[in-house]
Amino acid sequence: MLWVLNYFLEALRMGIFTLMTGRAGPSGYGSATTAEQVTQGADASGLNAIVTGGASGIGLETARVLALRGARVIIAARNMEAANEAKQIILDDCKAAKVDVLKLDLCSMKSIRSFVDSFNALDLQLNILINNAGIMFCPFQLSKDGIETQFATNHIGHFLLTNLLLDKMKLTAKLTGIEGRIVNLSSIAHVHTYEEGIRFDKINDQLSYSDKKAYGQSKLANILHANELSRRLQEEGANITVNSVHPGLIMTNLMKHSIVLMKILKLLTCLLWKNVPQGAATTCYVALHPNLKGVSGKYYADCNEFDPSAFARDVKLGKKLWDFSHKMVDSASLQ
């Protein structure tokens, strides 16, 4: 149960009283803020957004609120039946909503490339990319490309997807003058990872595999990816920001592999948990709020900036992960 202790200590560092009470932070928002509240008055008309994993949970709520504020939303999901049901939920909530559904399996690089081809065929600009989808605490298995599944889905899949969409986002920002925004969903779980932070030489090592640490490793990678991409885009002078967020503790389908354990944890830490509208708030805040114009390479929780772990702030580790991820993608492409 070391991972539970690590999560609790991180919550304590972030301000456990604030988490429990929902008291607003410097941004004017806190853990009790909902996605609708944090985007009140925001006008996303004319913006196009992709939300991975937008068929359920906080991904669906994120897609719904972005659509409610006027954005055209592309739900990227593996389960097309669930994605179409999510689309209908959004349309029932807002008849004027603009929603498209495209198939995306982040565990397959072939599927990711196919998704990008399908998106490009829509001939749309791209303003916002929400890298929301993920899997959690899975038994050891390899992806279709031969990569440990949590690392493949949570990090490598989004790394490739983002890189393939980056030119589109740069061009959109240049033509429209509107800042592009990329949001990586990380987690407080990034603090509970392997001793090295990222096990570059043991990503696929089944014998020493830990489902909890592998998840933490992938969530650490989400932050490092956002920080390194932000650094590179700033060097280019590209009008795109990249930030990472911890949505909070929310009981969703993501926890299906440890549902009993998570229910026990929720019972022990009930005051720290959020509902889905609250869980989507930080994502929507970072994606739409005008106060974050020009802000990049930061980590947010409860709609306020926080310092992530030392590993997550390690620039050298971020650069190493970037090169390692490129090599993994290139190697898979040659197979």
Please list the active-site residues: 209
What tokens does 58 get?
């906080």
DSSP code per residue over 235-263? HHT-SEEEEEEE--B---GGGGGGHHHHH
Residues in the chain: 335
Name the residue with tokens 């090599």.
Answer: 327
Cβ proximity of 243 and 296 under 8 Å? yes
Cβ proximity of 242 and 229 under 8 Å? yes
Cβ proximity of 237 and 180 under 8 Å? no
What tokens does 109 get?
């690089």
The CA distance from 250 to 129, in Å, is 22
